[in-house]
Amino acid sequence: MATLTLPQLQQALGLQELNYAFSTGLVTGSVANRETKKIFSPADGTFLGEVAMANEADYEAVITKAQEAFILWRAVPAPKRGDIIRQYGEVLRQNKEALGQLVSLEMGKIYQEGLGEVQEMIDICEFAVGLSRQLYGYTMHSERPSHRMYDQYHPLGIIGVISAFNFPVAVWAWNAALAAVCGDVTVWKPSEKTPLTAVACQNLLQSVLRDNDLPEGIFSLIIGQANIGKLMAADKRVPLVSATGSTPMGKDVGATVAARLGRSLLELGGNNAVIITPNANIEMAIRSTAFGALGTAGQRCTTTRRLIVHSDVYEMVRERLLKIYGNIPVGHPTSASTLVGPLIDQLAVNTFRTALDNVVAEGGKILAGGQILTEGDYAKGNYVYPALVEADNSYATVQHETFAPILYLIKYSGPVENAIAIQNDVKQGLSSSIFTLNMQEAEAFLAHWGSDCGIANVNIGTSGAEIGGAFGGEKETGGGRESGSDAWKVYMRRQTNTINYSNNLPLAQGIKFDL
């Protein structure tokens, strides 16, 4: 890894003057008369920069610019829109290392995961380029003679994107790339915990727009507190709001958008489980579970939080995990030897500790880890040692999603249906996985009475979805679908068209209405 200094990162990504107002992506100037926020790395407390928090006037300026840009952008042929996204993908390739390192420094995920997040942006750009020539509708046969009937899709307008800190750029790209080829414009409110990566992405994207003589309002950025998200959710000028975050936040956004009969795309909490049956490849299951539980320090929506293991192989799995949890490399996210970096902030550290205290009070047993790390190299960061906990699925703490590296080890006995029942017995329904070489067990897991999650995997873990498939979940996960498959349709309005090319006017259903 070619580590860049902070000034080099700022130069590469256009962040040299972070004391200026990048709050809108359209309006620059002094931060005077605006609330500002200083950003520090969760890894070591390094000061990374300062951004201005947008106010209501900034929001209005952004929406006005976006409305103006939409009028032009929707008239650009879809393949031409796709070419703009292709160019952005190339710019991301050129800046992958720098942007991946910034993701690592600002969010705290290890550098390899930072690179992976940027690669995910590149992948969705490639997907969107192909999609720009496939925004298809269907042709149907009319019951009336000399009539043609078909459906087609039109852009919605402004797409509001509210993203979370844990994937500070990739999830925005899922939305922005697809929305763009569909003819929409986007207004992005990133997490106020990770605004610098958003500014960097916006700077790179605006350079593409300038090179093509396109208005900057096609892709807008507005950095602000929760009030900006509330303005967006209530704004009738924003027909679709895509929000990623906690279930309580999603409920608020969903209710507000629904009250104005708008659309919402919600990607909320996950309480994801891996099932290991007696017929599993145990070593493969353990390795997959370790990545799912430890990756991004347990701060993925698809993090493996529950491991449901058959009693016949429970002790074997338990002992293997104890060896792994006895030697986890926790450290600075840019170090090549680190597998688990810091949590995002001190509040997350406190939540981690509180969850462990609560689960022990309920009857759980901490088998390994659980310490808050404050000495030596850990002193200036938000570090914890991942915890392995024996627990029961019925515990209130296990039922709750704790955004931290805690893996609950749960025993089951009897047929696989018992494990599936445990897997489904939570309010969330994002990602799920089973490890088995038995076809009947695998098919039962994937059947309509099996996993109730939006993602169900066999012999791979809960974490690490590809962009080619639709991503999202059920129940309190919100029901949204982003990224691949036909998720693009949510960014468009569907229209049914019937053309009469005869000289007669027959009515449907054979109705006679002669005057």
Asked if 17 is an active-site residue, the reply is: no
Determine the Cα angle at 299 with ends 364 and 318, to 5°.
40
**Identity of the residue numbered 442:** A
Q: What are phi and psi of 368, to 5 degrees?
A: -160, 150
Q: What are phi and psi of 198, to 5 degrees?
A: -65, -45
Do the Cβ atoms of 271 and 306 come closer than 8 Å? yes
In this structure, the dihedral spanned by the alpha carbons of residues 119, 121, 125 and 128, taken in order and rounded to 10 degrees, is 120
If we measure between CA atoms, which residue out of 229, 184, 234, 190 comes closest to residue 84?
184
- Contacts of 456-461 with C-beta under 8 Å, sequence gap 24+, read 456/432, 457/431, 457/432, 457/433, 458/433, 458/434, 459/281, 459/284, 459/434, 459/435, 460/288, 460/433, 461/274, 461/288, 461/289, 461/291, 461/292, 461/304, 461/433
- From first CA to last CA, the distance across the chain in angstroms is 80
**The dihedral sign for the CA sequence 402, 407, 413, 418:** positive
Cα 58 to Cα 28, 34, 38, 51, 296: the distances in Å are 10, 10, 19, 14, 33
Which residue is associated with the tokens 């705290």? 108
User: Within 10 Å of residue 332's Cβ, how many Cβ atoms?
Assistant: 21
Residue environment code for 188-211, b if the CB has 16+ CB neighbours within 10 A, otherwise e = bbbbbbbbbbbbbbbbbbbebbee
User: Within 10 Å of residue 5's Cβ, how many Cβ atoms?
Assistant: 8
Do the Cβ atoms of 157 and 500 come closer than 8 Å? no
Residue of 192, 267, 401, 441 with catalytic role: 267
Asked if 301 is an active-site residue, the reply is: yes
If we measure between CA atoms, which residue out of 171, 266, 185, 188 comes closest to residue 224?
188
Residue of 125, 201, 301, 453 with catalytic role: 301
**Identity of the residue numbered 95:** N
**Identity of the residue numbered 274:** V
DSSP string, 258-269: HHTT-EEEEE--
Active-site residue set: 267, 301
